[in-house]
Amino acid sequence: MKRPNPSSTRNGRRLTRRALLIGTAQFALMGGLALRMRSLQLKQAEEYRLLAEENRINIRLLPPARGLIYDREGRVVADNEQNYRIVMIREDAGDVEQVLQKLGELITLDPDRLEKAREEMARRSPFVPVTVAERVSWDEIARVTVNAPALPGIVPEVGLSRKYPYGSDLAHVIGYVGPVSDYDLNRIDDQDPLLQIPRFQIGKTGVENKLERALRGSAGTQQIEVNALGRVMRELDRREGNPGSDIQLTIDTRLQSYIEARLEGESASAIVIDVENGDLLACASAPSFDPNLFVRGISVPDWQGLNEDPYRPLAAKAVQGTYPPGSTFKMITALAAYEEGLLDPEETVFCGGFVEVSGNRFHCWKPGGHGNVNLHESLKQSCDTYYYEICQKVGIEKISEMARRFGLGIQHEVPLSAVAAGLAPDRDWKLRVRGTQWRVGDTVNASIGQGDVLASPLQLAVMTARLATGRSVTPRLIHSIDGVETPSGRGTSLGINENALRRIRAALDDVSNHNRGTAFGSRITDQENRLAGKTGTSQVRRITQAERDAGITSNEDLPWERRDHALFVSYAPAEAPRFAVSVVVEHGGSGSGAAAPIARDVMLQALYDGTPPLSTYPQNVRARISEQQRRIDAMIASKFAASDRA
């Protein structure tokens, strides 16, 4: 019998052990894989399903419809219109330039817009749509659609765009919208994802800017399926967002349009305020600009024209502009002295044309002086010397305090851009800002609204409304938001001595209605609607003694930018005030000659809610006024007809 080979036995045992080890390892590996698969399929299935879904489904934001803006009569003054546009998807187009050439044979393409589109296509992924033409007509859309097979990558779209039907008339109030810029993103603390949408538009100025969040609304969402490259395959779900809030202004568009037409050719501003509730019926600055230019993308020549115009059409002068109020400030000085018991209304001051204070000569506007004048005559004839004398008794602190009580030197809360605070200076202000002590001469200058005193047309209108009512009337521009009315600006009693107010009002009545009043030429002849007001002229240059000795150069003979500003503040009817009006004509020369006639015309439009009868004007101006009314009425009718057609 043959014996087994010991070497073969040992080798067999080794193979058996190796097989066992390998089998055990394989079994362990397969078991581990099975357990992991069980965990993935059962325990972590939901987590990985969501991850896979995120790779397959994208969520895009849908811009909401911007809220509309209405005037007090319900006219739409900021609207949304359908904006037909043409977009290109570069990867579908193939030869981009060839497709653009074919497109240019069908519709008119703006070279600047086209160049921007090329730059955008170079920056973005090939499947991202890029706008190549905006605001195309329906006929152009139809031509593009009919020729779609020959225009690969070209897609007609429709969206909403802002439109201002009354153009320049409300530009400084409503403002305008424009695409979100990097400057906007860095400037505003707003995490709304809508701001990241390419070419999404937000308010840049005016009400559009100040009430941006309310007008913007909230975004909707679109759930779309995309492939691995990110290309849209189909829409899975859509949820529309909430449109922006509708805003109703207190502005009367027809009155605003009248004022803009009446101010034509001037660098000026005018405010009309309802003294009962503080409603701003008009807030006009001239010249103005067409806000639609900014929505569509303003051209370089248009932008340069607006920026280089010396009349500054982009400035909202009615709220941004600040001017020395001149003689329209005299009522404040008088009331400050009266409240302190330092003014006897019947006591007279002699005006010889100037006074000497601390070695300096302060002149009255009338070189020969007014003679003996009391409070009433000083306002009626606008004597400066009277206020030079009484201001030294009362001091600047009380004068500035009274100015602030009447709305000067404070920033009123109206949702407009860069609302000015003006300045009612005092000792602390000069020491803090100028680093010098206040002097008596500073008080003398301030007493007639010169020196450091500054006021905006809005503040002057508020001051006048408070003089007319004795209440702390505050301006209100927003009537309601989504139908919910905002608080009234009626205000409460200022606590001013009623006898003092009566005397001031009687003098302001005579300013316009007495033949020696400075605004007699701009009176309203309808006795039930008499105008009460105050003229003002503020110097923009210092008149030297040498010039006085040689003869002061008249405003008409000076370059425009060196002429005095013209101001007029008023309310009517004098016995039962309804409206207050302030007018400032930059470099207009004199308040009585330039500003008062405008204020009278504006006041009559407000009182009669339209064109007043010629009988309300003095006989000697009726022929001129008749021609003026025909011209302005035609302008307004044309503008409103164009708005209705739009």
Q: Which of 168, 288, 327, 643 is catalytic?
A: 327
Helices 96-106 & 111-123, crossing angle to 10 degrees? 150
Contact 424, 403 (CB under 8 A): yes
Look up 488 and say whether it is catalytic.
no
Q: Tell me the two tokens of residue 187.
A: 């400037």
How many angstroms separate the CA atoms of 510 and 547, rounded? 33
CA angle 134-135-136, nearest 5°? Answer: 95
Residue 202's region, left for phi above 0, alpha for psi from -120 to 50, else beta, is: beta
Tokens representing 103 are 């497109």
CA distance 205 to 291: 10
Beta strands, E only, 264-415 = 268-274, 280-286, 349-351, 354-357, 360-363, 371-373
How far apart are the C-alpha atoms of 255 and 258, rounded to whole Å?
Answer: 5
SS3 321: coil
Contacts of 458 (CB under 8 A, 6+ apart): 271, 283, 318, 319, 412, 414, 419, 475, 582
Query: Which of 106, 98, 250, 114 shows the shortest CA–CA distance to 174?
Result: 250
What is the H or E stretch that residue 85 is in?
A: strand 76-88
User: Chain-centre distance of CA 612, in angstroms?
Assistant: 30
**481 three-state secondary structure:** strand
Show the tokens assigned to 440.
């008596």
Say if residues 336 and 394 touch (Cβ distance below 8 Å): yes
Q: What gap in Å lies between CA 513 and CA 294, rounded to an integer?
A: 46
Q: Are 569 and 536 in contact (CB under 8 A)?
A: yes
Positions annotated as catalytic residues are: 327
